[in-house]
Amino acid sequence: MQTPADQLYSAEKFRVQSTYLVTLTSLIVLIPFALNNFVQDRYFIGACALAVIAIVALNSFEAHRGNNRPALIVFVLAPCMVTFLLLSLYRQGAVATYWIFPVIISYYCMLDVKSAQILNTVTLLLLLPPIWTTLEPEIATRLTATVIAVSVFSAISTSVSTKYQTALESKVVTDHLTGLLNRTLLNDTLNSAIDQFSRQRTPMTVLLLDLDNFKSINDTDGHEIGDAVLVGVGNIIKESTRISDSCFRLGGEEVLCLLYGADYTNGRNVAERIRSRIDSTDFDTSRSTTASIGVSTLQQDEDWQTWVSRADKKLYQAKKAGKNRIA
């Protein structure tokens, strides 16, 4: 069963799997073609076909290692494929034009939509003039129309799929009420921060925030008002943190913020900014709305459970000391 985390990365996994399939197809189709060209004394075309196979295989290997190398496709593989197409067109005529279609489709399989569209356009600009000079007008017209149609359909299909995937990702990882992240990627995000701290010594700080007496707001003013408070607090948190930071609604009125590159002093300053804004905001409730926040900076050889547990203890200290404060 696919987990939400798996769904989040399915777009990238699709590109990796597509790269594998392109590699497999190249091995099955291009190797016999390359060997046949060597037999027919068309050594340069055969060598180009082998070069395409080698580069596709290298890209597949890099993808398997988790290294996304779009530059390898854009600046190495694509020029080789276009060169291969041009040589085949001049040497073999109309039969070589069939290679154009898998080349165009492979762009959309291995690259993001924008990069694929750019390469698609450049490829057509390079190939259409020799098609019209080497083929009969009737064949060139039909081929041009078909190639353009395949390009447009590939672009539309990939674009729609990408937008759908983006919407799905947003639903999977975002809390529908506050607009903050939900717990789906919390563990992975904290572990990633620990890895970055271990490699580069980048300071990492978490804020653990809890609204004070929130249950009494729900009980007195109703859950609709309580939800409106949560929405407002979520907006304050998003406005008070950076795009690079990650803020998660853990459940109820509790929020955890991971501040990248922030030491304890910076983390405490952000916490104070959030606390003071919540305290000074009129949420249209019968009771004042305040928050207590625990601040914890990652220490050497510390796992995320211990790290967050220290923030939780600090939060408890803030509550015990009178609430509406930072510890």
Write out the catalytic residue numbers.
Answer: 253
Q: Do 244 and 173 contact (CB within 8 A), yes or no?
A: no
Q: Which residues contact 72 (CB under 8 A, 6 or more apart)?
A: 55, 58, 59, 62
CA gap 247, 183 in Å, rounded: 10
Specify which residues 248 forms β-bridges with: 181, 256
DSSP class of 74? I
Alpha-carbon gap, residue 318 to 295, rounded angstroms: 10
In angstroms, rounded to a whole number, what is the distance separating the alpha carbons of residues 74 and 70? 6
- To the nearest 10 degrees (0 to 180), the angle between helices 264-280 and 223-240 is 140
Count of alpha carbons within 13 angstroms of residue 327, beta-carbon side: 21
- What residues are paired with 211 via a beta bridge? 291
Tokens standing for 64?
């398997």
Provide the token pair at 147. 């190639």
Residues forming a β-bridge with 204: 260
**Got the DSSP string for 195-218?**
HHHHHH---EEEEEEEETTHHHHH
What is the C-alpha to C-alpha distance for residues 273 and 204, in angstroms, rounded to an integer?
A: 18
Which residues make Cβ contacts (< 8 Å) with residue 219, sequence separation at least 6?
none
CA dist list (Å): 58 to 19, 66, 68, 84: 10, 13, 11, 18
Distance CA 266, CA 237 (A): 15
